[in-house]
Amino acid sequence: MSRGRAKWQMIESLADPGMMSLEQLKAEVAELVRADELAARHWACEVQDCDGLPHEGWLHHHARAVQRQPRWLWTV
């Protein structure tokens, strides 16, 4: 199966938001927020003033300290 077809089938299998209860919608949003936080942690080093270069615990380039997402709700 092609990669594009697999993605399309995954999208088709998602529930229709118009048919979901408020609790189900809240659960879906909470899961998306958790996934976003996990993805951000994958690239954001917690070392103060980090320059983003590989160091102990980080074998690859990663976000510098100034590139981290702010802790406040910046998307609103």
Res. 76: pLDDT tops 70: no
Q: Residue ranges of the domains in the chain?
A: 18-76
- State pTM to two decimals: 0.42
Kind plus residue range of the DSSP H or E element containing 35: helix 22-43
pLDDT digits (tens, 9 = 90+) for 2-60: 767 877 877 777 778 888 889 988 998 888 888 777 666 667 777 878 888 888 877 87
Encoding tokens for residue 68?
Answer: 């981290």
Place of tokens 């936080």: 37
Res. 75: pLDDT tops 80: no
* Cα–Cα distance measured from residue 76 to residue 30, given in angstroms and rounded to the nearest whole number: 16
* Cα–Cα distance measured from residue 57 to residue 7, given in angstroms and rounded to the nearest whole number: 33
